[in-house]
Every structure is written in structure tokens, then in C-alpha cells.
Amino acid sequence: MSVAETGTSDAVRYEVNDAGVAVITLNRPERLNSWGADISAGIYAKFDRAEADPTVRVIVLTGTGRGFCAGAYMGEMASLGKSISGDTDVSKIVGERHPHFLTTLRKPVIAAINGACVGIGLTHALMCDVRFASAGAKFATAFPRRGLIGEYGITWILPRLAGWGAAADLLLSGRTFLAEEAFQLGLVKEVVEPENLLTRALQYAEDLARNCSPTSMAVIKRQLYGDATDAVTDVSDRAVTLMHESMVRPDLLEGITAFFEKRPPNFPPLAASRPEGPT
């Protein structure tokens, strides 16, 4: 890694490597990186930094130790439970944004799920664009087993990834399942031995960073999530406009030239503002 913003004592670490991949690491291993105010306070700033940095083309989210994110920090949940009233503010734990903010980023977000991935940790992982997991990593929604409901968009994303029946099972039962089942359900792209997880996730991320147009990836992300609930005719019509826009960008000429010259492409970075086009 070539750039490090934070020290190892901070709740969220940030590094950028020479390939243009930012690695954001949850760093509370003593509690399996469970989600609390310290993590939520740091993670948004790190994602905002990666999103704004033109040298960053892909983002990897992972955790230290044995957990990716083992749900909400129960110490803070217990304090919240003791003070339950009509004006209970759960945002004190969740933070200023819901997990679906990851889908609004212009840059691909790759999750390297190194261990326990539960509750709000699972919701964040599912809102990433692609997921890799350590062999044996434990997953769970857990909500009904804590007297809670499907939170912050998980009932939107989980059926789209795993199908309605599997989502109903996982959400209603709150049962624990392993990375291997998550792979079978389509929730993760690959299951990797723990010692190779970050290396494999970085390999994938670096391939995107080196060989894919940042502008194309930004538009495709917007299409993926924006088109999810629209009629296919509307989606197709928007795609025609977006295709015409892509054909006048320098990225197209560079991609074709690099193909014929048998060399890696040298795509320009993202513009400072979001790519224009239908929303």
C-alpha cells in the first residue's frame, strides 16, 4: 500500500495502493468489528475520500481479525434498550447514512468478508457490488432472534441476490449459515482460504482498476441499481441514450486502440462530478 491515512489504533483504516485501489478496513477486532458510533463516524469519511480521489478507481471493504462486522455493538444496543422511548434515536448507532449509500458511489465496492458477517454488517456487505468470503465465515441476518425487523434495505437487496425463497428463509429464521452456503446462494462470488482472501480481492479489484473505464463502471453501477425496479422498456430506452453518450467519450477510442495494440488501456479518471445522463 502506498498511502495510509490512519494509524492502526483507529476504528477505520484507509490505504491506497499503486494500482488505484483504496482499502477501507474496520478495525475493532476485539469485538469482531461490530458496528458502533466509532466505526460509523469513521467509515463515511473514508468512503467520501475514496470517492473524491481521482487516483482511486476501486474500493475494497474488509475487517481485521476474525470478524468482518458482527452486527451492532451490543454494548451500545444495551444502552439504547434501557432508554427506549417515543423519541429513541437509533441513528446514534447506525450513523448518518443507511447502508444503501454504497450503491450510490460511482466506484465499484468489493467486500472481502474475512469473518463474522451479521445484521447491519451483512446489510453493508450485500450493498457492496461484489463479495469474496473466507472459507467458514459465518453469516446471519439475526434480526428476529433479537426482536428486530429487516433493517435498512436488506429486504430490498437480499431477494435480488439470493431469490425470494432463500431471502424469506434467511430473514425469517435469522439462522447462521456459512460462506459456502452464501456462495451457493449467489451472495458471494468466491470462497477463499482466509490467508488468501485479501490478496484475491485485491487481485480482482486491481484488474478492474487497470482494465476498466472508471466512467463506464460509474454509469453501469447507476444502471444496475437505478434500473432494478423499472420496466424493461424504460430501462432499454435509457440505455440507448447512455450508449450514445459513451460513444463520444475518449474512453471508447482508448479501449479499442488498446485492444488492437494488445496493451493495457489507459482510461482517464472519473470527472469531478457524476456522469451526466438520465437518472
Whether the Cβ atoms of residue 53 and residue 16 lie closer than 8 Å to each other: yes
| The predicted structure's pLDDT at residue 93 | 60
| The predicted structure's pLDDT at residue 214 | 95
* Stated pTM of the model: 0.85
Residue 4's DSSP bridge partners are 15
Cell triple for 167: 431471502
Rounded (to 5) percent helix, strand, coil in the chain: 45, 15, 35
Low-confidence stretches of the chain (pLDDT < 70) are 1-9, 74-95, 232, 235, 273-279
pLDDT digits (tens, 9 = 90+) for 52-85: 999 999 999 999 999 999 988 765 544 444 444 4
C-alpha span between 101 and 104 (Å, rounded): 5
